[in-house]
Structure 1
């Protein structure tokens, strides 16, 4: 097998595994107070000191475009999951803070979702998990 063929097969395997896992875990959000995208925003915000993060930091961690993140955040503010204020350190930026409802919704889903992740990742032993983490870090840093 040529390096080119191997690279394409590895990419396809990685892509399909990620897609299948993502689809399977979407069930974790059915009937919950927050959507999967809202969970991703709240993951960054609730992990930050005082559950407060800059919008640009949230955008960096999301897998959607900046305008899409801004629209999502505005919907979350309207739903009472976040507050949004101007960033005193950057006049063009915004600071997000999880509300009590946002933090509560995040915690409710996080328990189920983390169990789901652990269950699906249990197909790999600890050495394989470390190797996967190393390999994905290497790909992301390339």
Structure 2
């Protein structure tokens, strides 16, 4: 059986580390034209073949509600960052495609953001990073 005190202490440490690291790496978005939520949408879309992803897949990767994702995507469409069309495989769904402008903005910020993340995580060795990834995936049930 898991030691309850140790479990709580580990959870609090994980939560505090996540909060502090996220606060630091979120500074990349302070003076940029992309918000962190828009970046997350473009991250999902640009990782897919043809820079195209189903809206429900984007929603599944976000940490906000489906209605919030829909409003965010509509704002991104209006800004010319993504195009939204009906999903040919699901009459109720939609497909998002990164526009040239959206993909370019994403690439520019991804370079900076990736560097910030790597620098922040450099306090851990490669073996520790691999172990952290394995442990957090296990906590997520992946």
Aligned residues: 141
TM-score by length of 1: 0.96
Write the mapping of 1:17-96 to structure 2, written as runs, cut at 5 A: 17-96=17-96
> Which stretches of structure 1, 4 residues or more, deviate above 6 A after TM superposition?
none
| 2:116 corresponding residue in structure 1 | 116
Report the Cα offset of residue 29 of structure 1.
1.0
Report the Cα offset of residue 31 of structure 1.
1.8
Q: Does 1:5 align with 2:34?
A: no
TM-score by length of 2: 0.96
Q: Which ranges of structure 1 fall in alignment gaps of 5 or more residues?
A: none
Q: Does 1:129 align with 2:129?
A: yes
Q: Which ranges of structure 2 fall in alignment gaps of 5 or more residues?
A: none
Q: Secondary structure at the match of 2:95?
A: strand
After superposition, give the CA deviation of every residue in 1:104-132 in whole Å (9 maximum; x if it has no partner): 11011000000000001101001111110
Counterpart CA distance in 2 for 1:135 and 1:26 is: 23
Report the Cα offset of residue 33 of structure 1.
2.1
After superposition, give the CA deviation of every residue in 1:53-80 in whole Å (9 maximum; x if it has no partner): 0000101111111111111101100111
Q: Secondary structure at the match of 2:71?
A: helix
